[in-house]
Structure 1
Amino acid sequence: MSILKKNLSFVWNTSIVNYIEDNSCCCLKEMTANDVVSLLFSDRKDCENFQIVRRVTSPEQKWFHRLNTIWVFLLSLVCAPYKYVRYGFTGWDHFTPFGEWILSKVSPIDTVTEHAVRELIATDYYVKIDDLSAKEVIEYLFGDFSYRGDFMLVDRHVELHDTWWQRFNVLWIYPLALLCYPYRYIRYGDAAWDRTTKFGRWLHWMVGSQK
């Protein structure tokens, strides 16, 4: 669980075509490479504003970024319980104005733009975007089975398998488990609660862990 930066989930390279079609009203077979690049950065209401990040990025921190990390960390720590219960995650991402502002205080933000993507393709001597199909430009940007592209597509539709009240219960069940740890370890040799007892099954249900 990250306090400062939200842990992002990414779409598998081989599933990106289906992911784009499932989260927009477009059929990629009927689109050109130019259309696909425009769609990925579109803010139209009939698609879900896909988010793209660079696969490898290491922005250089300045001294004031490291200084800001002190108060940003404290703010994030205070907000973490509410964000976890409300949204199912802690930390900030750059997909909201406030999150982008917070992250810009601790590190330069390398935002991927449509212009940057088109410029990358244009500078490749061996590739011309007008000669690529929709599938080929996706494989060029994100990779396929044998090739890792320069970019990754963020999965913004990850389904949470628990509810807000189950996440809220984590806030008191974890301290309870920690408090009981020494006794359970000495008494049973294992401090964890399993599902072999009614109380253990009830605790697992309370936090949404039923498998």
Structure 2
Amino acid sequence: MENITKHPILEIPDKKKIKFKFDGKLLYGFEGMVISSALFLNKIRIFGHHKKDGSPQGLFCSNGQCSQCNVIVNGIPVKACMTPLKVGMIVESCNGLPELPAEDDPVDVGDSEIIEIEVLIIGAGPAGLSATKILGEYKLKIILVDDKDRLGGKLVLQTHKFFGSQEEVYAGKRGIEIAKILGQQVQSLPNAQIWLNSVCLAVFS
């Protein structure tokens, strides 16, 4: 597999070549790519093996929804398709269930802030963005949360043009373009907060 340098639709910026290790072997990738892309670039398809039967595991959903591409980075299990490659990173195969470090550095979260809202929307894909837009127009106080670094969900992976109604589903536009349109609409709402790179936890008492 070769690194893509030209694309008929997407702009491919120049990236710096960097070193990393996988299972002790020195490899090269490019700054900004995720670990799974760097491994594929080096013709590595198997990232680990399943605990139950030892079957090989590797890239599957490519969107952080499963754990098939888990690897160990500096002793911590991560999803290879979501974790950016860094200079000098030590990556290891994930064979069986990963083990967490016996001792972890405590995290000081400081004083917790209590925020009262009317609607919490989890997931900034097309459904979450549409719900935020509609409810936001009713002046409801909203927080939109997503664990990715950008708005759009799977739309940001789609370069094909959509079909159907131009007014309702933006027919004739690509998924990446629709993600930008919906993102701009929710970002313009004064009563909606957007939290990216965030995880939701429910605590019941």
TM score, norm. by length of structure 2: 0.22
Higher helix share: 1
Q: Which has the bigger relative contact order, CA under 8 A and spacing at least 6? A: 1
TM score, norm. by length of structure 1: 0.22
Higher strand share: 2
